[in-house]
Structure 1
Amino acid sequence: MDDRVFLSLFVCFLSLFPDLSHSAVQYSGWLGDKKTQGSVLKLTTGASSAPFDPTRVTQLSWRPRAFIYRGFLTDEECDHLINLAKDKLEKSMVADNDSGESIMSEVRTSSGMFLKKAQDEVVAGVEARIAAWTFLPEENGESIQILHYEHGQKYEPHFDYFHDKVNQELGGHRVATVLMYLSDVKRGGETVFPNSEAKDTQPKDENWSDCAKNGYAVKPNKGDALLFFSLHTDATPDPLSLHGSCPVIEGEKWSATKWIHVRSFEKRVKDSECIDQNVNCPQWAAAGECKNNPVYMVGSEDDAGYCRKSCNVCSS
C-alpha cells in the first residue's frame, strides 16, 4: 500500500472512533495539539517497565510535531540500557544521500551500537511503551540504537527521512523518532530544531549553549523522551523536522534512539536463507560488529541475526 494512502486511512480510522481519536490527539499529536489527559496505563509487556502515563506528555511544537514525555524511563532502565551498550560502542555512521550506504562523517562524531529487538525484559518493555505512546506498531520500528557523546561530540542538523531509494525499500521512510535521554548533561548536548516555527518564541538564557540558540531546543534530562515526526500526515517529508545534537560542553551524554517507519521494518528469514536485513551490514561487519555485537548481527538460538551474510555464519 502506498505510504500516503496508509497514513490517510489511519487518520480516517481514528475519526470513526471519537475516544480513540481523542487519545491520539492527547498522546502523539496525530490530529491536534490539546493538553494531555487520561489515566495511567499499566503495560503487561516487560515486568520492570514503568507505567505509561499520558499526563506526563507535553506538546513542544506543532511545526514540526514534537512532544516531550517527562520520566518516560526510570533511572534503573536508563542505567540498564547504558550497561548493555558501553562495551560495544563503535564510531557512529551516517547514510550516504546517493548510495544509502553507511559512511563515516565529521557531521556525526558520537559512538554507538544497536540493541536487538526485545533483547531482554527491559528492552521489550521500553519498546512496548513506545508503541503505546506513538500509536505505531512495534514491527515498524528499528532496533534501539544507544549513543554516547563525549566532550565536543555532536551530530549536525539532519533529517531522519531518507534521500536515497535504497533505505526506503525496507519499511519506507522513517515517520517518527523517539529520542530517550539516558543521562543528564551538565552543559550542552541539547537537541535542536533549526527550522522549527517555535524557535523565535522559546526563551533562552546563559544556561543554553550557543548551538541551542539557533533553533527550538530540548535539554537532555535523564529519563525524558522526545517524540517528533519527520513526515506530515500525508506521508510527505517535513523539512521543519531538521534536527541535530549540539556539542557536549561539560559532562557526557547518553541517549537511545528508536526510529519508526511507515511500514513494517521486520523481515523474518529462514535459517537456510543467507541474507542481510540491513544495508549497513557490510560496513558494520568490517568494523568488527559481528564479534562485538553478535546478538544483533549473528543472532541467537531463538532468532536469526540481521547481518548473517556479512558475518559469514550462514550454513552451506
Structure 2
Amino acid sequence: MDPRLFLVISLCFLAQFSHGKESLLKMTTGRSTAPFDPTRVTQISWSPRAFLYRGFLTDEECDHFITLAKDKLEKSMVADNDSGKSIASEVRTSSGMFLQKGQDAIIAGVEEKIAAWTFLPVENGESMQILHYENGQKYEPHFDFFHDKANQQLGGHRVATVLMYLSDVAKGGETVFPHSEFKDKQQKGGDLSDCAKQGYSVKPRKGDALLFFSLHPDASTDETSLHGSCPVIEGEKWSATKWIHVRSFDSPVRSTSECIDEDPNCASWALRGECEKNPVYMVGNKDDVGYCRKSCKVCSS
C-alpha cells in the first residue's frame, strides 16, 4: 500500500477522536499493559499535525524503559546535513541509547500500540531511543525529516514521531514548536519556561505521548514541524522516541539502477493511470525511487 495512504488514514482516524468524544473502540494490542484507547487523544495543532495522548504508557512501562537504559547512556549525536553521518554537537546535549526492536514483551507491546495509534506498520519504525536530560541540557529546534540523501535510502523520510515522556519534570524540559499555528494563542503561564514561551509547547508528564507528523499528506516536508526540547531547569527528564518512516526501515537499501516493479499490482495500477495520479509512489522523485518504474516506463535505456 502507498505509505502516504497510511498517513491519510491515520489523520482521519485521529481527527475522529481528537475532541475527547466517547468511543466503543478500545483496541487490545498484544503484550502492552495498557490497551489503545483513542478517547485519550487530543488534537493540539493542525500545522504541524500534532496529537497528545494522556496516559499512553503506564508507570510500570516508563520505569521499565528507564531501568533498561540508565546504565548504557552515551552522549547524543545529530545527523550531519551533508554527509548524513552522526556527529557530536552542542545543539543536542542529552545522553541516550537505543533499545532493540521487540527486545522484550513490554517493548514489543508498546511498539504494537504505536502502530495501532498511527496506522503505520511496526516495521516502518526505527528502534526506540531512550533520552536523558539533566539540568541545563536541551535539544535546539530541528526537523526530524532528513536533509541528506544517505539517510533517506533506508525507509525514506521520517513521516511521524512519537515522543513518550517517561518522567515528570519539575521545571523546563518542554517540547516546543516555534512555527506552530497556535504559538501565539497558547496561554503562557508561569509554569512554562522562557524557552517554551517561544512557540506552542507541551509540558512533560509521565506516561503521556506526543505524536506529530514531519511530512504533509502529499509527502512533502512540513516546515512547521520544527521542534525542540527546552533546557531542564529543575529535576531531570526521561523520554522515549519512536521515529517512523514512509516505508519499511527493516528492508535492505533499494537499488536505484534496476528497472523493476516492486509490487505485483504495478501493472494494473499503471493501466488505471496511477503513474500520473500518484507519481511519488509509482515513479519516484529526486530524493527517492518509485516502486513501479518498469510499468510506468520511466527507466532509462
Same fold (TM over 0.5): yes
How many angstroms apart in 2 are the aligned matches of 1:11 and 1:50?
Answer: 24
How many angstroms apart in 2 are the aligned matches of 1:188 and 1:35?
Answer: 27
Task: Name stretches of at least 5 consecutive residues in structure 2 with no aligned partner.
Answer: 254-301
- Structure 2 equivalent of residue 23 of structure 1: 13
1:208 is aligned with what amino acid? Answer: L
How many angstroms apart in 1 are the aligned matches of 2:78 and 2:68?
Answer: 22
Q: Is the 8 A contact 2:155 2:251 kept in 1?
A: no
- Structure 1 equivalent of residue 23 of structure 2: 38
Q: Measure how far apart 1:228 and its partner are.
A: 0.3
Task: Name stretches of at least 5 consecutive residues in structure 1 with no aligned partner.
Answer: 15-19, 28-32, 270-316
- Structure 2 equivalent of residue 111 of structure 1: 95
Q: Is the 8 A contact 1:141 1:261 kept in 2?
A: yes
How many angstroms apart in 2 are the aligned matches of 1:237 and 1:209?
Answer: 29
How many angstroms apart in 2 are the aligned matches of 1:57 and 1:82?
Answer: 24
Alpha-carbon displacement from aligned partner over 1:196-244 (angstroms, at most 9, x marks no partner):
0100000011110000000000000000000000000000000000000
1:38 is aligned with what amino acid? Answer: S
Question: Percent same amino acid among aligned pairs?
Answer: 73
How many angstroms apart in 2 are the aligned matches of 1:252 and 1:39?
Answer: 37
How is 1:195-206 mapped onto 2 (pairs within 5 angstroms)?
195-206=179-190
2:46 is the counterpart of 1:62: yes
How many angstroms apart in 1 are the aligned matches of 2:115 and 2:138?
Answer: 28
How many angstroms apart in 2 are the aligned matches of 1:175 and 1:113?
Answer: 22
Q: Is the 8 A contact 1:35 1:59 kept in 2?
A: no
Q: Measure how far apart 1:26 and its partner are.
A: 2.6
SS of the equivalent of 2:201 reads strand
User: For the aligned residues, what is the CA RMSD?
Assistant: 2.0
How many angstroms apart in 1 are the aligned matches of 2:188 and 2:95?
Answer: 29
Structure 1 residues 34 and 232: alpha-carbon distance in aligned structure 2, compared to 1, 3 A threshold: farther
Q: Measure how far apart 1:43 and its partner are.
A: 1.9
Q: Measure how far apart 1:36 and its partner are.
A: 4.8
- TM-score, normalised by the number of residues in structure 2: 0.80
2:219 is the counterpart of 1:229: no
- Structure 1 equivalent of residue 142 of structure 2: 158
- Structure 2 equivalent of residue 181 of structure 1: 165
- Structure 2 equivalent of residue 87 of structure 1: 71
Question: Would you say how many aligned residue pairs link Structure 1 and Structure 2?
Answer: 253
Q: Measure how far apart 1:45 and its partner are.
A: 1.6
Q: Is the 8 A contact 2:143 2:214 kept in 1?
A: yes
